[in-house]
A and B are shown apart, each in its own frame.
Chain A
Amino acid sequence: MKFLEEYRDRERVEQLLHEISRIVTKPWKIMEVCGGQTHGLVKNGIIGMLPEKITMVHGPGCPVCVTPASLIDEAIALSKKENVVLASFGDMIRVPGTSESLLQAKAAGADVRIVYSPLDALRIAQAEREKQVVFFGVGFETTAPAIALSVIQAKQLGLKNFFVLASHVLVPPAMEAILSDPANEINAFLAAGHVCTIMGEKEYYPIAAKYHVPIIITGFEPVDLLQGILMAVKQLEAGEAKVENQYSRMVMPEGNPSAQQLMQQVFATCDREWRGIGEIPSSGLEVNAGYSSFDARKKFSLPVISSTEKTECRAGEVLRGVLKPVQCEHFGKRCTPEHPLGAPMVSSEGACAAYYHYHQTAASE
């Protein structure tokens, strides 16, 4: 397959590595925002092949990982209510809350169901009218349109038993939070390809300008990642700070306008707590007033749960990029994908799981 070779080709990879080494003169820290990219960098051993001057910092780009324990506790509280079906993605079900995960709640009798799509949760609501179906909606901008669509469909179908517990997070405010931290050392970003498939490029222009950082929209293949890094290093060495699109075969500058329109129709932005980072202003999405009858928070009175994060897991440091997963004392010992102590070990996009699965590669660093 021609393209397969083109994006994974060893020779191409080596050319790019050579080119990066040739032009780099100063040490640079580059953050890849998306967990899928972390996965790609670790799994393919790219991390270990980069010149020493370049440090890749793994960003908070795994929605499951950044969902705070308090939101999981909220979902668990809901799942224990009579007649409630709590549906969510598989990864989300396994993430520990303060004292248990949704999976443990399920084992104890709560009606928790794993679905592939919010539209599957909608179908449950259609089939089981006597139940109150709540979809625990997590994700970045890539996932939000699907959840918006499920809410609009529920309205058109006249369903009165479908609700969304909206827990979405938005990428640009998180990038701003990282950049405006006085301790910030990030010089450039690889922005998440699929998020930009929906949102396009324009949200990044003001960030690149305000903080003077290059932002490269990047794909997931080894060649994509190395091209993205090369583009970032070129800009850094030249003192530039532009938004560039490495992933133009998948990302239109304007994104997908129909998807953006769905999101605007159903959601409004709100402040949201990120695991490990804390509250970030306007970084979340909640169901707006027009669709409030589908908002699980309005329908059910939920206890206000103050989050007491488990101190054992060092996800906070991992998600801020200050601790490598392998440096966590629990890594691979008490914390494994089978028995995760924290979210980054649960999700396949989580940094700890990425390192665990490809430890061999990471160990040869």
Chain B
Amino acid sequence: MCLAIPGKLISVQEHDDILFRTGKVSFDGIVKDVNLSLLPDAKSGDYVLVHVGIAISKVDEEEAQLMLKYLTASGDMKNEMDS
């Protein structure tokens, strides 16, 4: 549960209250709704680091790809998604 996982923001659902701003994030094909309130300027196409359902920082694309490959290979990604 402690892991933070990078994914690609594929769409943003704006909300009047920033705390409820969400987006769809693809983690190597698995798409989840993620809260974006901590990253007010995150936009579609950005890579973000996600921890327990909220995006905690932006990541550059290469870094994100690296982490994803690594997590997928080690099976940690599946563990994290299942938990």
Contact = CB atoms under 8 A, between A and B. Distances in A.
Contacts of B83: 89-91, 114, 116
A2 B74 CA distance: 19
A250 B49 contact: yes
For the residues of A in contact with B, the DSSP-based class is helix
Nearest to A44: B74
Interface residues of A, number: 49
Interface residues of B, number: 34
A308 B39 CA distance: 43
Given A194-B2, A258-B37, A142 B51 contact: yes
Interface string B63-79: 10110011000101001
Given A3-B63, A139-B2, A348-B76, A117 B53 contact: yes
Given A149-B37, A153-B19, A118 B63 contact: no
Interface in B31-61: 32, 35, 37-40, 49, 51-54, 56-57, 59-60
Given A4-B70, A7-B66, A91-B83, A250 B53 contact: no
B1 A91 contact: yes
B2 A36 contact: yes
Quick one: which of A64, A119, A140 has the most chain B CB within 10 A?
A: A119
B12 interface: no
A6 B19 CA distance: 37
A34 B2 contact: yes
A92 B62 contact: no
A114 B1 CA distance: 12
B53 A146 contact: yes
Contact of B51 (A91, A156, A194): A194
Contact of A250 (B1, B37, B51, B57): B57
Contacts of A218: none
A256 interface: yes
A225 interface: no
Given A116-B52, A117-B52, A1 B69 contact: yes
Contacts of B70: 4, 8, 221
For the residues of B in contact with A, the DSSP-based class is mixed
A349 B39 CA distance: 27
A140 B38 contact: no
Given A91-B1, A92-B1, A140-B2, A259 B38 contact: yes
A198 interface: yes
A94 B23 CA distance: 31
A306 to B, nearest CB: 27
Contacts of B60: 249
B81 interface: yes
A72 B38 CA distance: 30
Contact of B3 (A1, A36, A43, A146): A36
A283 interface: no
Given A89-B1, A116-B83, A256 B56 contact: yes
Given A1-B66, A36-B3, A116-B32, 11 more contacts: A6-B66, A63-B2, A91-B1, A91-B83, A114-B83, A143-B1, A146-B51, A258-B37, A258-B39, A259-B38, A347-B1
Interface of B: 1-4, 17, 19-20, 32, 35, 37-40, 49, 51-54, 56-57, 59-60, 62-63, 65-66, 69-70, 74, 76, 79, 81-83
11 contacts: A4-B69, A6-B66, A35-B2, A116-B32, A120-B53, A139-B52, A142-B2, A152-B19, A156-B19, A197-B49, A258-B38
